[in-house]
Structure 1
């Protein structure tokens, strides 16, 4: 029985998943990756560690299914994180600068003019922000190790893995990943000379952009895999989750709960307004599929941070949070690197507010859970005004928390359906890979459904209290 092998490279883990032609998952493997914070606001990873984690995850997956024939390979990867490497030797020329990194915040604020900001938005659907790749690319190219552009390759994580999977044969990237760089025109579907000029990035260092179901090359010298296995599809992880959840029409929205959160729905067309929830290119096949997406910078990271503060791991934190009916008015704003969508206020710092003599560890834990759900609501409300949202489909590690998913349904006032597999991004990439092979995988059913259990009045009260605190803290930050 033939299978597609999906590699899902995320911020803190790499997974490998064998997907059969009927959509069943035969085996999985995983390997963790570390994240470094060498200075305030700096978020880095090691490129060789990312590659090694992919090799380990693949090995662990295939060890469980020794008789399986791998027909093709597909990729789902973290977005916006970027690195540079030597074109001749293949060695990294510095760290992977992570999507959460904000070292370029001052540069974005002080260097890019209003006219250039509008140009970026009109070409990419995005705003100038240190989360996206171009400012980080400019920083990487300013380092002494990358002083010779003729020897430098720059790319997002998908392009680095493709380089390694093909034995350095191809410097390519996928269109959806390219759309997150601030350098790719999502209407014209190509690198923009005007945007390259804004950020001072030479075209020669960038990869060739291929459609999401393009020919990405074949494996060469990959431990555990034979040479010649074709790479048939690549998607950014949030985009892959959208496809894996069956969200292919406007208004069908998914929320991914990872280190951060991606809240995304296909859109009827390309919008370049300044709503706070920008357009993006979900995937490019025969035609582009556009989406509206809000990126939340800290969701799972907020739970992990609060757990460390209280001396608990995340499961224990969630158990403590469930021991009280609410946060007792305590609000936690997890803006460790500022606020993402729909606020986009990088100067705001994290805070725990409205504590009183009756507040304790349980209330703080519950406030962290509520903060994850409240941030998703902030995005959904903006999207819903433009693309009416029905049921929300949820995926990611934090969906294992019944408390979080119930809180999400309560605050949204609609059903939340949780994916039946944790590897939904890998499954989404496999959907596209199997499609290349002439097979349509089924949309996997939801594992659990949560319905609102609070009154509209209670919902308005909780949302209003959160929004008041966000306004107060952003106003105090003056950013």
Structure 2
């Protein structure tokens, strides 16, 4: 049995299946992430009943470049649906009890295709990709660049989709040819998946606000494409000639169409959320002031600010948390480029271990970081710093440094950046959090979560079932078809067995550690700047 399958099977509830129950309701969730795709089937209690996962190729053509094969992503999703449904039926359940399917996805990752053929014109450029650094610097120098964030909520960086699209138009002949012929379609992964899973000929071409808000084309106040934003980025190419998805709310019975093939052929897709918004929903972050942090490939902290966006003045993003009924709820977001990918770096590039949990064990083999600070700026630094010309830098190496110190410093890097984001959120919102809900792969590490609690000085709450991103997609889909009718029905979902990590470190020591981190960040600035 593979480690992935074994880990996923351990998530399934151990209670006896009631084979005679024919009215139990289930919701499927496509979880399309940066390194793998999954399909999960949840019951009404938020328990995953069946799961299938498939990894796909990570393509790194040049340093700083990160790509995916868009067709392989679609195939991986289809395979996951088949695998999970087979497991679901094997337990004696009927697919007729699956009421709808939701989608959650990696966000800024950009796909372009030809509307005449439905074929992708280039590999998907992944959200972590930094090839557009020079283009970002050019855009920042243009008049009006300082006004963009007020409309779209995002700062100019290599992170949003817009610079990826502009790079493709400037550098890929097939993309430029499709543009000149009026056939170029652009979308984030949600739009691409919906388009393909419906059967591309049907031209179901939509995106929800949690994804559309990551392109820099959408006005975060109106939920519509903004003419001023399109004008700003159309200085070489008229972006109005590019086919862009219609922006629809995150939960809807009609807009997302239905699956065109496979074991769930004809089943409706009724919900769609970008992965970090989905995790907030999955953590039931429906109240203003609630927050979650997802420790995945990257690390993403979302803070619910209610029904009016807060445009950050402290290095954060304004984004859409969800839009279930036409009244959007907003969030402040802090994005960290490297979290779980830092652990994978130690495994795959440095040969430290063969499994991610062994990295945490290695970090626990030493009492502290040995004076080591690792600024894991593999893709520059995201919130709240936004330093595009930083690169991964390690400070404090001595003859005393061991592999355990490097492992510990890698975990701590995520915790330091989370602390910096929480400090910025307190300044932007005028409120400090009293607790932080967590999920994602790195939240499995006891050491990482205790370190996080020590650095931020508030309890860290970790649920027993940590597939909250997929659960959020299921909730969005379930709301549309009345599996759940209101938020109160979800209050007790996934609360049993949660763990609270209380701060244990002396405050002065915590402050000293963070001060050293901030010094290291300042020292790594400009490493990748042109010389």
Q: State which of 305, 308, 319 in structure 1 corresponds to 2:361.
A: 319
Mean CA deviation greater in 187-196 or 430-439: 430-439
1:407 aligns with 2:451: yes
The answer to whether 1:181 aligns with 2:223 is: no
**Does 1:218 find its partner at 2:257?**
yes
Structure 1 residue 220: Cα displacement: 4.4
Superposition misfits of 4+ residues, deviation over 4 angstroms? 475-479
Q: Which runs of 5+ in 1 are unaligned?
A: none
Aligned equivalent of 2:337, options 278, 297, 300: 297
The alpha carbon displacement at 1:458 in A equals 1.5
Structure 1: how far apart are the matches of 2:259 and 2:450? Answer: 47
Residue 192 (str. 1) matches residue 189 (str. 2): no
Moved more, 180-189 or 416-425: 416-425
- In structure 2, the residue matched to 1:10 is 33
Aligned to 1:103: 131
Q: CA separation in 1, counterparts of 2:381 and 2:140?
A: 20
Aligned residues: 478
Aligned 8 A contact 2:312 2:332 in 1: no
Distance 1:47 1:453, change over 3 A: same
- Indicate the larger mover: 36-45 or 357-366: 357-366
Please give the alpha-carbon distance, in whole angstroms, between the structure 1 residues aligned to 2:250 and 2:311: 22
Q: Counterparts of 1:230-379 in structure 2 under 5 Å?
A: 230-268=268-306, 269-286=308-325, 287-307=327-347, 308-313=349-354, 314-379=356-421
Q: Report SS of the residue matched to 2:263.
A: coil
The CA distance in 1 between the partners of 2:401 and 2:465, in whole Å, is 37
CA distance in 1, matches of 2:364, 2:198: 48
Please report how far the alpha carbon of residue 190 of structure 1 lies from its aligned counterpart in structure 2 after TM superposition: 0.3
Give me the CA root mean square deviation.
1.7
Q: 1:152 Cα shift?
A: 1.8
Report the Cα distance in structure 2 between the residues aligned to 1:218 and 1:188, rounded to whole angstroms.
24
1:389 paired to 2:451: no
Structure 2: distance between partners of 1:5 and 1:256? 21
Q: Shift in Å at residue 197 of structure 1?
A: 2.0
Q: Displacement of 1:475 after TM fit? A: 6.7
Contact 2:373/2:409, CA 8 A, preserved across alignment: yes
Task: For 1:395 and 1:336, locate their aligned partners in 2 and report how far apart those are by CA, in whole Å.
Answer: 23
Task: Give per-residue Cα distances to partners, 1:400-447, cap 9 Å, x unaligned.
Answer: 111111111111111101122232111011112211222335242162
What displacement does 1:113 show? Answer: 3.3
| C-alpha displacement of 1:203 | 5.2
Instruction: Report Cα offsets for 1:22-69 as digits up to 9, x if no partner.
Output: 333211111112211101111100001110110111111111111332
2:145 alignment counterpart: 117
Q: So what's the TM-score if we normalise by structure 1?
A: 0.96
Q: Does the CA contact (< 8 Å) of 2:99 and 2:481 recur in 1?
A: no
Deviations 1:211-264 (A, max 9, x none): 11133343243222222x111110000000001101122321110001101011
Partner residue in 1 for 2:505: 454
The alignment's TM-score, normalised by the length of structure 2, stands at 0.87
CA contact (8 A) 1:83 1:95 kept: yes
Q: Could you tell me how far apart the structure 2 residues matched to 1:161 and 1:289 are?
A: 24
Deviations 1:179-201 (A, max 9, x none): 00000001121011221122222
Q: Which residue pairs with 2:494 in the alignment?
A: 444
Consecutive unaligned residues in structure 2, runs of 5 or more? 1-23
SS of structure 1 residue aligned to 2:498:
strand
Q: Secondary structure at the match of 1:428?
A: helix
Partners of 1:311 and 1:332 in 2: CA distance: 16
Q: Give the stretch that moved more between structures: 73-82 or 167-176.
A: 167-176
Do the aligned partners of 2:250 and 2:271 also contact (CA within 8 Å) in 1?
Answer: yes
SS of equivalent to 1:7: strand
Following TM superposition, by how much is the alpha carbon of 1:454 offset from its aligned partner in structure 2, in angstroms?
0.9
Distance in structure 1 (CA, Å) of the matches to 2:46 and 2:516: 44
Q: Which is further off, 285-294 or 153-162? A: 285-294
Paired with 2:412 and 2:53, the residues of 1 have a C-alpha distance of: 29
CA distance in 2, matches of 1:366, 1:220: 44
Would the aligned equivalents of 1:216 and 1:230 in 2 still touch at CA under 8 Å? no
For residues 5 and 165 of structure 1, the distance between their equivalents in structure 2, rounded to whole angstroms, comes to: 14
* Worse-superposed segment, 270-279 or 253-262: 270-279
